[in-house]
Chains A and B, each alone.
Chain A
Amino acid sequence: MSDPLHKDQDLRADDGPIEESQKTSETPLLNVSELRSGYGPIEVLKGISLHVNAGEIVTVIGANGAGKTTTLMTVSGCVKIRGGDITFDGRSLTGIPAHEIVKLGMAQSPEGRKIFPRLTVLENLQMGAFTVRDQVRVREDIEKAYHYFPILKDRQKQLGGTLSGGEQQMLAIARALMIRPKLLLLDEPSLGLAPMIVLKIFEVIRELNREGMSVLLVEQNARLALKIANRGYVMETGSITATAPAQELLNDPRIQAAYLGE
């Protein structure tokens, strides 16, 4: 049996909005320009620019330590912007704290999942809806999360820390969906998971995108990410070194040699 992830099947939605993304007149949902950030004396991001248009799946690929997580954490407001700017939905995010950015409609499923180990699955989902006042809507969204990931319903009374890695990843994504985000940031959702589970998760990501959610996906598994994405960026030691439609990156011999193991 062939590995389902390595079939050359195109995971993209048929109505992929690639053409749309090339329209320059449209203002992107997320626009990162000349962004610099880091930790203490270490400058990690050395002036990166990227954008996500509404309806797109955009991926950032790159080796371990390239700065992908730092990028997402800076976009989410957990790491401070040191230079350049980020705009989301037409608003500058400079100086806006992380918890306010969530309210603008941006959610993240962070690297390492970071679920709450001593809260139940249900409570984890409720935390995801912390900024949502309407409890009817919260209950609906929990049901919707269970529809995407039925295993979470079976586990709803269990503590987050007792879930398997794959279940924790599903919970992390489901939790991020609770605010009905316009933009979903995903950091290494495939890391350490069995291929079947990865496939399941990526199918949900594609389904969410088809329903209109924009996605910024960070992956070390470049092949997988490029297959699902409309466009991709290649990141090396804090800089963007290449960007192209995902299909082009997949066919680029240099990318194949460096990131696709060919």
Chain B
Amino acid sequence: MTGLTGLVFASADTQFFINICITGLTTGFLYALIALGYTMVYGIVELINFAHGDLFMLGCFFALTLGGAVMALTGSPMATIALMLLATPVFCAFLNMLVDLTVYKALRTAPKLAPLVSAIGVSFVFMNIGLFWGGSQDVNFPGLIEERNLLAEDSGLQFTTTDLLVILVTAPVMIGLTIFVKSTSLGKAMRATAQNPVAAQLMGINVNRVIAATFLIGGALAGIASVIYGLKIKTIGYQMGFQNGLYAFTAAVLGGIGNIPGAVLGAIVIGMVYSLASAYIDARWATAMVFVILITILVFRPTGLLGARTREKV
């Protein structure tokens, strides 16, 4: 009798654990999209773009406004989602590039602190725009996707429609990005510029164009994250950029800042740690746990999980 109860409990524990992992994984995938923008920009101009989280926040408001209009016009959730997924990345991409052209570009040869402080400034500007756009209260994002468990109820496992959405959108994006950076001419130019901008110029690479492309791509990824976040989390607010940006940035550092697969890995680790710590320790300690893990890993691997290890011979 006790044995049997024990078995049922164990199995319920396992189910609980798996569910927590699924949550962790989808959270991680979401952070990965944002983390990629930090890591790619850092890799190429050595700038920690503090405004990136707030760009993501503005993307959420853009998606909300656009979604509301399209939904009112067409009444079709599918068309609305599709349009949000197309237009929001474009909006964020150009906004990101615009900031680079108007603010960071002029400071390219200035001491690193100058663009960094400017990025913090841009972050505040974005937050204020968000405040005007959406007000000081959190806003509900329309539930365009019916939240439904895709797994059989008696399995005790939870994998919902929005979980599927996260995977369906982010996985191809990340695979596509990897292929792009690995094999296309622009992708190779990006890696070369990140590794040695002067040599890249001597190869005939237009470094300014490569940097602009990096801001475009990083922005587009944040825009995709905005839509997914809105559809999955369903609450947005002007302050959301700070915390989400911080997690994503942490993910980028954890994986090895400047390293693209590293950012994805770091984001998954952080999503997992956050989710497991919330479930098994205390939600209030989850953030602290994330940073405990970060610091521990950085003590043993200062360049992050996948950070550059090749010695550069002079």
Residues of chain A at the chain B interface (Cβ within 8 Å): 76-78, 97-100, 102-103, 107-108, 110, 112, 114-119, 123, 126-128, 130-131, 159, 161-165, 168, 175-176, 179
Contact = CB atoms under 8 A, between A and B. Distances in A.
B201 interface: yes
Interface in B189-223: 189, 191-192, 195-196, 198-207
B191 A102 contact: no
Nearest to B201: A98
26 contacts: A98-B202, A99-B201, A99-B204, A99-B206, A102-B202, A102-B203, A110-B202, A116-B192, A117-B195, A117-B310, A117-B312, A118-B308, A118-B310, A119-B192, A119-B195, A123-B188, A126-B188, A127-B192, A127-B200, A127-B203, A128-B203, A130-B203, A130-B205, A161-B310, A161-B311, A175-B203
Contacts of A114: 196, 198-199, 202
Interface string B176-193: 000000000100110110
Given A98-B201, A123-B188, A161-B311, 19 more contacts: A76-B201, A78-B198, A97-B201, A99-B203, A99-B205, A102-B202, A110-B198, A112-B314, A114-B202, A116-B192, A117-B195, A117-B308, A118-B308, A118-B310, A127-B188, A127-B205, A130-B204, A131-B203, A131-B204
B295 to A, nearest CB: 26
Contacts of B205: 99, 127, 130
Contacts of A176: 202
A135 to B, nearest CB: 11
Q: Sort chain B's interface into a size bin.
A: 20 to 34
- Which of A117, A130, A162 lies at the interface centre, i.e. has the most chain B CB atoms within 10 A of its CB? A130
Given A102-B203, A110-B202, A162 B310 contact: yes
Contacts of B188: 119, 123, 126-127, 130
A164 B313 CA distance: 8
B195 A116 contact: yes
Interface string B300-313: 00000000101111
A156 to B, nearest CB: 16
Contacts of B204: 99-100, 102-103, 130-131, 179
Contacts, number: 82
A203 to B, nearest CB: 23
Contacts of B185: 130
A118 B192 CA distance: 8
B310 A76 contact: no
A41 to B, nearest CB: 13
A107 B191 CA distance: 20
A97 B195 CA distance: 20
B199 A110 contact: yes
B310 A115 contact: no
Given A130-B185, A130-B189, A161-B312, A107 B195 contact: no
